[in-house]
Amino acid sequence: MGSLKQLKVYQKAFQVAMDIFELSKVFPQEEKYALTDQVRRASRAVCANLAEAYRKRQYPAHFVAKVSDADAENAEVQVWIDFAYACRYWDEPTKNRLTQASEEIGRMLNTLLRSPEKFTNQVSKN
């Protein structure tokens, strides 16, 4: 399986989280504890949950639970993207780019969820 950072889904999620961090710097101060913190937290949680899943891959049920958590956080990211666009903090091309990337991450996560044995059975059980 390689290292966590070699996983394409991790790389993609990390890049989206970093893009969101940079793009959310334009949000007004009154959004600090609402939109800014929420979109940043959710986007970073996708990577954090993948890291936990990776470390728990010797336990298929735990692996699936953490990947499912990553998928839920990714869905939340899409909601916050919609809010940022609706509040006119981000333009339509930015919204579309981030949404498309998030949807791709969702498809990748669903691949992990549909076939966990491909990712969990490679771990030696010493």
- State pLDDT tens for residues 74-123: 999 999 999 999 999 999 999 999 999 999 999 999 999 999 888 876 54
pLDDT at 1: 58
75: number of Cβ within 10 Å: 14
Q: Is the pTM of this model over 0.85?
A: yes
Q: Where are the domains of the chain?
A: 4-117
Helices (H) and strands (E) counted in the chain, each on its own, are: 5, 0
CATH superfamily of 4-117: 23S rRNA-intervening sequence (1.20.1440.60)
Q: pLDDT tens-digit profile of 25-43?
A: 999 999 999 999 999 999 9
Place of tokens 């966590």: 4
Which among 72, 69, 74, 67 has a CA at the least distance from the CA of 100?
A: 74
